[in-house]
Amino acid sequence: MTRRLVLTADDLGREEGSTTVIAALLADGYITGTTLITVSPAATRAAELARQLNVVPRLHATLTSEAGLPPWRPLAGPSSLADPDGYLGDAAHAVRAQIADVRRELDAQLAWMRENGLPAQAADGHGTVLYGLTDPGAGWLPEVLRWSASHGLAFRLPRDPVPWWGGPLPPPLAAAHEQAVALADALGVPLPATVVTNRRDAVELGGYPALRDHLRRCLSELPEGTSELFLHPSAERAVGGPAGVVRAWEARLLRDPAWHRALETEGIELVAQWWT
């Protein structure tokens, strides 16, 4: 059985602290990829660091602002994605946006990357709104897959959703997921075998060893093919609060010799992409 893993640090460009940590992990070879948030004030420096490291991030398509940070403005200008002050709102606001405005914003973010010398080959969602699986009637996922196909992009949607979701999808979501995978195949949009991440906060985990043990178990459950593990490593002080604690633990994990021994024990090959 051949099992490969893309080891991704999400949120390059989120803010300066996370950007610095992720760039260092890339430079030291502890991750095989990253995703870039283009709407953040830190995006320009993040793009410069990526070019210096000869790394092309994926587009972390962003339709919402981030809790705990000053709000971000859409790159495409005023639209139904923006709140009355002209900023990207939360997920509840984003799902009410017009699909034409969504496509226009995604086009602008992808164009920004290409204009900055980063020809992204794949995309994923910042938060869950882009996936649309929380509301099968919203119609987001089919439109996003069509957008991906129109630009020749792969998309981070797991073929097997169980590891990503933490169990079987409820019936309506399972049906929506099955239809989305079939549509991606029909459109020629590459998908990873599965996706795993950490969804637990610091209180639920109780400490760093629990995080490491949880993700080591995830390794043992990876299917044949190329999957992706994405984390959000950062310095605790860069994010703050309970979220900062977990992000600091994730940064520690990626440098932990015990984690790398687990990858070797499982016979998992680290690769940079799942779309070739």
Torsion of the alpha carbons at 197, 223, 276 and 58, rounded to the nearest 10: 0
Instruction: Classify domain 3-271 at the CATH topology level.
Output: TIM Barrel (3.20.20)
The domain segmentation of the chain, as residue ranges, is: 3-271
pTM, to two decimals? 0.94
pLDDT, tens digit, for every residue of 128-161?
777 766 554 556 788 999 999 999 999 999 999 9
Count CB atoms within 10 A of the CB of residue 62: 31
Tokens of 272: 């940079």
With beta carbons less than 8 A apart as the criterion, state whether 254 and 262 touch: no
pLDDT, tens digit, for every residue of 205-246?
999 999 999 999 999 999 999 999 999 999 988 887 788 899
pLDDT, tens digit, for every residue of 32-43?
999 999 999 999
* Orientation of helix 16-27 relative to helix 43-52, angle to 10°: 10
